[in-house]
């Protein structure tokens, strides 16, 4: 097979491969965030932070076989590369299933030898079909690598009726939400409003931003000098495009309103038979009434009852999500370098559970003190 590997660094040129990119995702992945329309706004976020897009394309006879959407940055003479998407959105290689074992090794070799990368930091879902072949290639090519478990995704498989689910959760589960409803009754007239993508004219964005403006996150954004939740805006921008070019991508927003004003919302993206609880927020003044938990509960119940969904993915693993499920899908970070010293410095501290718990937070804090390395 005549393989050709190239890179696209100008996002305007993504239009030339967008159709084939879409086809690759349809054929090789169940992750909607890998579609170019949803991934492209994150490219702009990375560029704002000083990272440059590096979309690695693998083709044969003008047919696109794979894409690795990366972003790179040169820091203190080191060329670093990572996925465009953060771990929450399950970044991965996008390679046709029949080509996985042979193409992933070529990509790693290309990144080090042809593009001069010094360090790769790649986050995968622990069950990624590419992860094992990547580690095998590292061993074959004598590349040094470290593996560390990152925050996973809390998931809720749908295996029964909603009534059976509630019964299995027990009486405390049912009483908890009845108590929330009684407390809401005491403070005003409340209701839940569900808005679908074809009802965007109802001012969804302004209502979401009304909640965000009064959320606990607003204080954090002010300290950071941010005017809005950049990730939220990137997702909404991507969805605005995606729903027109990917008919299988859908979204719904649930609002909890009090006296006609939204006090909480949850944004859910649906693709295939999976629902992704993508963004949730609430008005901090109503914190003691658990509006965020309640609006999530309503969304989960209604998604369950549609019988369209087999899995609900929370995209992260926060304590309050234990309300509905104990199932967690793991996430794995692989730090790869041809330089053993770099590999040790950036990854080896996190190889054992003991060292991760004792030195891990300190090392992460050290890297976050360097603006160029924050979050790497």
Contacts of 207 (CB under 8 A, 6+ apart): 255, 262, 265
Taking the C-alpha atoms of residue 66 and residue 133, their distance in angstroms, rounded to an integer, is 15
Q: How confident is the model at residue 107 (pLDDT cuts 50, 70, 90)?
A: confident
Query: Mean pLDDT, to the nearest integer, of 105-128?
Result: 88
Assign domain 159-309 to a CATH class. alpha beta
Q: What is the per-residue pLDDT for 349? A: 41
Taking the C-alpha atoms of residue 228 and residue 343, their distance in angstroms, rounded to an integer, is 36
Q: Is the pLDDT of residue 229 over 60?
A: yes
Q: Is the pLDDT of residue 370 over 70?
A: no
Evaluated on CA atoms 164, 167, 169, 172, the torsion sign reads: positive
The segment(s) of the chain belonging to CATH 3.40.630.30 are 4-150+332-373
For residue 200, what are its two tokens?
């965007």
Q: Is the pLDDT of residue 6 over 50?
A: yes
For residue 11, what are its two tokens?
């996002």
Q: What is the per-residue pLDDT for 363? A: 45
Give the fold, CATH level 3, of 4-150+332-373: Aminopeptidase (3.40.630)
Q: What is the per-residue pLDDT for 346? A: 58
Q: Is the pTM of this model over 0.75?
A: yes
Q: How confident is the model at residue 99 (pLDDT cuts 50, 70, 90)?
A: confident
């Amino acid at each position: 097979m005549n393989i050709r590997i190239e890179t696209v660094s100008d996002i305007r040129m993504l239009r030339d491969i967008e159709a084939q990119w879409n086809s690759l995702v349809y054929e090789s992945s169940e992750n909607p965030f890998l579609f170019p329309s949803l991934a492209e706004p994150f490219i702009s976020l990375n560029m704002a932070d000083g990272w440059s897009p590096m979309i690695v394309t693998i083709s044969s006879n003008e047919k696109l076989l794979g894409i690795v959407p990366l972003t790179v940055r040169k820091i203190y003479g080191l060329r670093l590369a990572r996925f465009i998407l953060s771990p929450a959105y399950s970044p991965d290689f996008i390679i046709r299933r029949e080509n996985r074992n042979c193409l992933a090794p070529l990509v790693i070799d290309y990144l080090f030898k042809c593009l001069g990368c010094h360090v790769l930091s790649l986050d995968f879902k622990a069950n990624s079909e590419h992860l094992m072949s990547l580690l095998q290639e590292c061993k074959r090519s004598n590349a040094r690598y470290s593996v560390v478990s990152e925050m996973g995704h809390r998931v809720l498989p749908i295996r029964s009726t909603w009534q059976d689910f509630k019964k299995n959760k027990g009486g405390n589960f049912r009483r908890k939400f009845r108590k929330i409803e009684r407390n809401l009754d005491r403070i005003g007239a409340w209701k839940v409003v569900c808005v679908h993508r074809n009802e965007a004219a109802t001012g969804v964005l302004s209502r979401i931003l009304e909640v965000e403006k009064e959320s606990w996150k607003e204080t954090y954004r002010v300290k950071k000098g941010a005017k809005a939740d950049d990730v939220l805006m990137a997702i909404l921008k991507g969805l605005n495009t995606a729903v027109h070019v990917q008919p299988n991508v859908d979204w719904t927003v649930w609002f909890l309103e009090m006296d006609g004003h939204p006090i909480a919302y949850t944004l859910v993206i649906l693709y295939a038979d999976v629902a992704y609880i993508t963004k949730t927020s609430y008005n901090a003044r109503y914190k003691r009434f658990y509006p965020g938990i309640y609006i999530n509960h309503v969304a989960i119940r209604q998604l369950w009852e549609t019988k369209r969904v087999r899995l609900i993915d929370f995209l992260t693993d926060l304590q309050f999500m234990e309300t509905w499920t104990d199932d967690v899908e793991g996430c794995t970070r692989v730090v790869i370098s041809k330089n053993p010293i770099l590999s040790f410095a950036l990854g080896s501290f996190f190889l054992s559970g003991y060292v991760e718990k004792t030195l891990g937070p300190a090392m992460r804090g050290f890297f976050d003190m360097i603006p160029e390395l924050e979050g790497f």
